[in-house]
Amino acid sequence: MIFALVIVLALLVIVALTALGRGWFGWVLGGAIVIAWWKWKLGAPPTPFWIVAGTFAFFALLFGVRPVRRLVISGFAMKLVSGALPKMSETERAALDAGTVWWDAELFSGSPRWKRLIDFQVAALSSEERLFVDGPAHELAAMCPEHEIATRGDLSEKAWQFLRSKGFMGMIIPKSYGGLGFSAAANSAVIVKLSSRSVTAAVSVMVPNSLGPAELLLHYGTDEQKNFWLPRLANGTEVPCFALTEPGAGSDAASITSSGVVCRGTFEGREVLGMRLDWSKRYITLAPMATVLGLAFKLRDPDRLLGSEPELGITCALIPATTPGVEIGKRHDPLGVPFMNGPTEGHGVFVPLDFIIGGPKRAGHGWRMLMQCLSAGRGVSLPALSVGASQLAARVVGSHASVREQFGMQIGRFEGVEEKLARIGGLTYLIDSGRKLTLGAIDAGEKPSVVTAIMKAYATEAMRSVINDAMDVLGGNGICLGPRNVLGNAYAAIPIGITVEGANILTRTMIVFGQGAIRCHPFVQTEMRAVDERNVVTFDEAFFGHVNLVFKNGARSLLFSVGGRHAVGAPVSGAARPYYARLERLSSGFSLCADFAMATLGGQLKRKENLCGRLADALAHLYLGSAVLKRYYDAGSPDRETACMRWAAEFALERTERALDEFLHNLPNRPAAWLVRGLVLPFGRCEHGPSDRRQSEVARGLLDDRPERVSLTAGIFSPPSSDPGLGRLDAALADVVAAAGARAKLKDAARQKKLAAQGSTELLDAAVAAGIVTAEERALVERAERSRADAVAVDAFTPEEYAARRG
């Protein structure tokens, strides 16, 4: 029995040192422990002694001497891994190579370095950028009441002229080319403000500053192309669109059939070497009014005029809309949200090869160019739109739930409504935290493709939840469209954000984890390249590093599960401290689950989209939870954010643990699932999300114009009180808050039978006569009641007005 315990101790030493990357030393030390005990206890009988010593020496030699390990183990392991790896196309490789890895890699390691996150500096807006957000962006928002745009079917001519003249279409273009040269954070702040007023205005500004001609030119254009196009794009002389999506190629954009053939032809009266293009694109924003099309197509060179390769691949070019054969002008109607969007076709369009972005040398490089640009761009526009819409919902619902009363009480005080308010406030804080951290990374020079995919997919999904909850609280006020309805058009626009820039269904399963498992893992991509190159030396280092990582995360997961928050140190003190340990526990568990998924399923994992989706959910919420802690730290841990921080952190923890639990419940290899569950969730799930008390704390912060509400919605457009929508609501809230003290006196007097229940005028007369309230307080109460009645009113139209609205 004692001998067996000694052997177990030796094996634990081997596992621990293997986890630290010292496996060979583990075998030596483990052997030494057994041999020392044997000599002490039994005097080391010759035969057993040499058997044990030889065994440990053999494994120490096998794992500790790298040439031996490579010959005996790594070469064989490389053959096994090679057979299990999925086959990858060139487009998949280009997507994997696009961008950089960042904090997502720390989470994949299972042991995130929190100090690195805490020390990372998120750059603030410059004074020039802040002035633009508070000035021209505010002015443009004021010109764009969404109900008027929806009735008109477009922005006003005044708004279009303003956004062109003030540089909105060239925010990402450097000043040297006539643009504003703004950071990603400033670009995002403008979109947040605009989207809180008008989805149409926000989208109209987003597109020229997102994936499209300007960004592609900046990264890949020739000097001649930059000097010609960028100043015209910056001042709005040229209106761009980017034509990628086709009837048969949506999320699978690499399968486009639009084609180009290298040939000779006549262009503007001269014979040149060029391309004859044919395309049919749809869902192209700004296409109906575009003056220049960025076009993605597959280029062929059957006569080998450019070289020996007949199939050049996906290529990007700039095509003036006036070129013969180009067809634009028709509009789609995306759920009644009237931003410019429509199809474009081209038939036999001939242009010179110089129209390729980057010139002829970039022929066939289009897919890589697009992936590189998307690796950062996904993290800017749609997350900003989602945050703007969510902040607007929080502001609107906070006002409405404070002003509207039922059964003699603010509806925001009912627990059922509190649940909705808490989710609105908590999710808004969650995605805004992710937005800010991601923008900080982009402005620091990173292009974190997995992180930006997380933000695109999970911010738009959170927006969907927030707007749905807001509509539930608003009830009839959210249903009846018109100038008073602030959220109706935002509700209609939800599926647009869910769908564009890669549908969320596939972004979740194919990019966040599908690419993340390779890009962000410390060793997998190196292992794959080593297999491709038949490089045993590189494979040996990566493979055994990978093995060490599995042992380490297994041990850490069990230790954290048993030791809880005391097993991990945190870089901060205060309210956020316990969440660091809980996130780290789940980071180790996530890394272990990901490794077992890859080990047991190999290339089949690519087709197990439900499993990939659950692991994507875990990674996404680990990232968002990290962003919440970072935001709270950077803000100085203010009391006004504490409730939202706790709600968002607990939500992220619960979603992460739920995802891992469901993954293990469905992992096909059941023995592996049981083993991992025993390490990661030995006592079952222990993260249960925000409690009722936490929900109440967040919900109360959105009511009565408290500092929490103001802080959470600081980025939106706040209209004047004359505005029939949010302006009217906020003005009513101010009146209700001003009269709260007087109303409390009236209620106390009624409870004490000092006032008899009667009509409001008589009640106020009696209260003033009895000295319960002053005449000034009576005026406040009366004004608040008038404002309350006006705030809960909805729009109604005469038959003629209604017919005019329907066009």
Q: What are phi and psi for residue 329, nearest 5 degrees? A: 125, -35
Q: How far is CA 417 from CA 125, 402, 473, in A?
A: 36, 11, 7
Please check whether residue 514 is in contact with residue 506, taking contact to mean a CB–CB distance below 8 angstroms: no
Q: Could you give the CA distance from residue 427 to residue 591 in angstroms, rounded to a whole number?
A: 25
Where helices occur in 145-293 by DSSP H, the ranges are 146-152, 157-165, 184-195, 199-206, 213-220, 223-234
Nearest to 209 by CA among 225, 185, 228: 185
Exposed / middle / buried, residue 61 (Cβ in 10 Å: 0-12, 13-18, 19+)? middle
Three-class secondary structure assignment of 413-458: HCHHHHHHHHHHHHHHHHHHHHHHHHHHHHHCCCCEHHHHHHHHHH
**β-bridge mates for residue 466, sequence order:** none
Active-site residue flag, 418: no
Which tokens hold the place of 642?
């504490």
Q: Please give the single-letter amino acid code of residue 264.
A: R
The one catalytic residue in 129, 146, 461, 501 is 501
With 0-12 / 13-18 / 19 or more C-beta atoms within 10 angstroms meaning exposed / middle / buried, residue 193 is: buried
Distances (CA, A) of 143 to 173, 203, 661, 731, 775: 24, 15, 49, 20, 40
Kindly give, in sequence order, each residue whose CB lies less than 8 Å from that of residue 779, ignoring residues fewer than 6 positions away.
Answer: none
For residue 185, what are its two tokens?
């954070």
The SS3 assignment for 482 reads coil
- C-beta of residue 96 within 8 angstroms of C-beta of residue 367: no
Q: DSSP character for 258?
A: -
Is 278 in contact with 258 (CB distance < 8 Å)? yes
Least Cα distance to 497 among 199, 189, 184, 95 occurs for 199
- Burial class for 807, CB neighbours closer than 10 Å (0-12, 13-18, 19+): exposed
- Residue among 717, 807, 723 nearest 198 (CA): 717
Q: DSSP string spanning 145-173?
A: -HHHHHHHTS--HHHHHHHHHTTGGGTTS
Q: How far apart are CA 670 and CA 653, in angstroms?
A: 25
* Whole-number Å distance between alpha carbons of 57 and 27: 7
Whole-angstrom distance, CA of residue 298 vs CA of residue 743:
70
Query: What CA–CA distance (Å, rounded) separates 287 from 330?
Result: 8
SS3 state at 294: strand
Q: Which residues are tagged catalytic?
A: 501
